[in-house]
Amino acid sequence: MESEFIATMVLTFKLASITTLILLLIAIPLAWILAFNNLRFRSIVETIVSMPLVLPPSVLGFYLLLAFSPVSTIGSFLIDHDIRLAFSFEGLVVGSVLFSLPFMVHPIQAALSQVPRSIIEASYTLGKSPLITAIRVVLPSIRHGLISGIVLAFAHTVGEFGVILMIGGNIPGETRVASIAIYDEVESLNYVMAHQYALTLFAVTFVILLLVYTLNKKSLMSIR
């Protein structure tokens, strides 16, 4: 029982970490484009990014499940390439990335839109390429947005339930994450285990947030 608990918790945080990392890589360029480029289809892109905020998780989960199924075009293509996403950990990662996308993109986009255009231009006039400018000038000055995005995306993935239940099911060690396990334990009236999961999630989330906000406050003060 104890080893299953640990395996579930490890899986939960592994999913959240991988999702957060992938999101960070996707969200920075995406937020950059949304904040700085005058895209023609900007409203459409923004709408798609924000959809998971209002869409019931089961809707996204349902369509992902259909897309992953071997009878669909995407699913059969993936299976031909030996990628099984339905009821697998990889599938959970894909679902979580989509579902937590706005939680990463929005804080970064908001922070980027606060960056004065002139510091980017100043860097260009000092001979620095857009990439160097992004890494050395822009990203350090939006690190509060980055931290908010990381924390929100991580916490949101840890707390994810609907999408995971739809596309991952409840396979121990593969797709059973803590939020699913709580539901499962309650269903079988095993309140002690449900408590153990719930309290652990509660404590870990509290500590992470507390740590981040404390660090954030310190680094804010060091600038001032």
Q: How far apart are CA 106 and CA 93, in angstroms?
A: 20
Asked if 43 interacts with other proteins (CB under 8 A), we say no
CA distances from 106 to 37, 57, 119, 127, 139 (A): 16, 19, 22, 30, 15
> What is the distance, to the nearest Å, from the Cα of residue 177 to the centroid of all Cα atoms in its chain?
15
Q: How far is the CB of 141 from other proteins (least distance, A)?
A: 5
Closer residue to other proteins in complex, CB, 122/211:
122
Q: How far is the CB of 168 from other proteins (least distance, A)?
A: 40
Q: What are phi and psi of 203, to 5 degrees?
A: -65, -50
Q: How far apart are CA 177 and CA 11, in angstroms?
A: 6
Binding mask 122-151 for other proteins (x = CB under 8 A): xxxxxxxx------xx--xx-x--------
Closer residue to other proteins in complex, CB, 25/126:
126
Closer residue to other proteins in complex, CB, 24/137:
137
For residue 61, the SS3 value is: helix
* Residues numbered 185-224 forming contacts with other proteins, rule: CB under 8 A: 223-224
Q: What are phi and psi of 72, to 5 degrees?
A: -80, 165
Q: How far is the CB of 130 from other proteins (least distance, A)?
A: 9
210: amino acid identity, one letter: L
Q: How far is the CB of 149 from other proteins (least distance, A)?
A: 18
Closer residue to other proteins in complex, CB, 26/137:
137
Q: How far is the CB of 4 from other proteins (least distance, A)?
A: 46
125: amino acid identity, one letter: T
Question: Given the rule CB under 8 A, which of 19-27, 38-46, 54-62, 119-127 is the region that contacts other proteins?
Answer: 119-127
Closer residue to other proteins in complex, CB, 126/215:
126
| Cβ atoms 52, 106 nearer than 8 A | no
Nearest of 7, 22, 37, 9 to residue 198 by alpha carbon: 9
Q: How far is the CB of 118 from other proteins (least distance, A)?
A: 4
Where along the sequence are the contacts to other proteins (CB under 8 A)? 116, 118-119, 121-129, 136-137, 140-141, 143, 223-224
